[in-house]
Amino acid sequence: MKNMIFIAGSGGIGEAAAILLREWSEFETEIFLGDVSDENLIKAKDFVLKNSDKTFSVETVLMPKEGISDVMKSAFEICDVLLDCSPGAQAPRMARFAKDFKMHYANLTEYVAETDEIIALAKDAETGFILQTGLAPGFINVLAMSLYQKFQAQFGVETVEKIEMKVGALTAHAHRPHFYGFTWSPIGVATEYVKPARIIRDFEIRQVPALSDRETIVIGGRTYEADLTSGGAADLPDFFRHKAKSLDYKTLRHVGHYSWVETVIAQIAVEENILNKFEHEELPDKILAEFLREVPAVEDDFVLAHAAVDGFDSHGKRQMIEKAYFVEPLKINGHRLRAIQTTTAAPLCQAAVLLLSGKYKGVVLQSQLNPEEFIGGNFVSQVYETQN
């Protein structure tokens, strides 16, 4: 069986998705790489071909920033799946292409407004649209669903006290005063620190400021700090309303990082005369500029993902089920892929496999995926399970 897959966006995640699909697919896969930059396309194609022994073709498509070209039309007409690795603001545009050309679609974005727009346009689609299927949102939400289902089966209850999801894309080393290094998009970090977080408290959905509930946690014998950030909870607040007394997603960092971030944001807020934390979402550009002055980009990374379900069993005894994954960089044919690349690209590739199976149609959110099928799939298991 041969499948045609279009990857929109040929940056680090797009490159990783392309090489994972070529190396690990259980079917012949021809790939189209699309990007607005010809330079990025040349670099990505060269990267994929040099680091893969497979002979399946890799084509490139230069995409205009607006509208659609004849080359794009030709590619879309023969492709089965569109994997969206483009900036989050482009997600509705890419999803529209998928619907118009009857392609399956999967994306990575944590942006809430764009996700809502795609849900509206794809609700009656003939093909499947798996949304927010990277690392966080994505893998971490499916992991939480898996633990909840195990809790249900083991302890015979529907309602739980807490569902906690935590993910950190971290550096192997951290230095003061920020105790951080950029392993992925700096603008993504700045944005998730200031946009509101959707959580559950007392069985009801609430929207609260980011970085408003810091905690210290020990995972695998190492101490980290975690705080609320936007986007990572995906659709789980909607699914678990009235089922979980408390649910949240937090980003893990090395101890000391959030104190520095809090100081930076507070100083900028004073300069801009913004006193309400809900108005901090107006500040990502200024925060980004300060981050880029102070924080280096780092290649030596690891990813930590932790989820826990806490509640009472049918006899009233408190129980907890939890699981953590520690993922380091991966070598494929001698080339090193950063942990953030593989942990984001593998769930996206797994989504492509699920879509090609024909089991999914219309909009598919994280709570609707089969956890066993997803986490046990070829791509996700090779990145996450084999390193734990």
Backbone dihedral region for residue 211 (phi beyond 0: left; psi -120 to 50: alpha; all else: beta) = left
Query: What are the tens digits of pLDDT across the range 46-83?
Result: 999 998 888 889 999 999 999 999 999 999 999 999 99
Average pLDDT over residues 93-122: 95
CA–CA separation, 379 vs 388, rounded Å?
15
Mean pLDDT for all residues in the chain? 94
139-332: CATH architecture: 2-Layer Sandwich (3.30)
Rounded CA-CA distance 284/191 in Å is 5
Domain with CATH 3.30.360.10 in the chain: 139-332
Beta bridge pairs of residue 324: 306
pLDDT at 278 over 80: no
Q: How confident is the model at residue 188, as a pLDDT?
A: 86
Helix (H, G, I), strand (E, B) or coil at 192: helix
Residue 387 has pLDDT above 60, yes or no: no
Question: Of all helices (H) and strands (E), which one includes residue 371?
Answer: helix 371-375
Alpha-carbon distance of 169 to 188, in angstroms, equals 12
Name the segment(s) of the chain with CATH classification 3.40.50.720. Answer: 2-136+337-387
Asked if residues 165 and 234 have their Cβ atoms less than 8 Å apart, the reply is: no
Residue 379: name the closest of 6, 98, 14, 19 by CA: 19
**Sign of torsion over alpha carbons 137, 138, 142, 144:** negative
N residues, the chain = 388
Amino acid identity for residue 330 in this structure: L
pTM above 0.85, yes or no: yes
Q: Which fold has domain 2-136+337-387?
A: Rossmann fold (3.40.50)
Over residues 317-326, the pLDDT tens digits come to: 999 999 999 9
Task: Work out the percent of the chain whose per-residue pLDDT is above 90.
Answer: 84
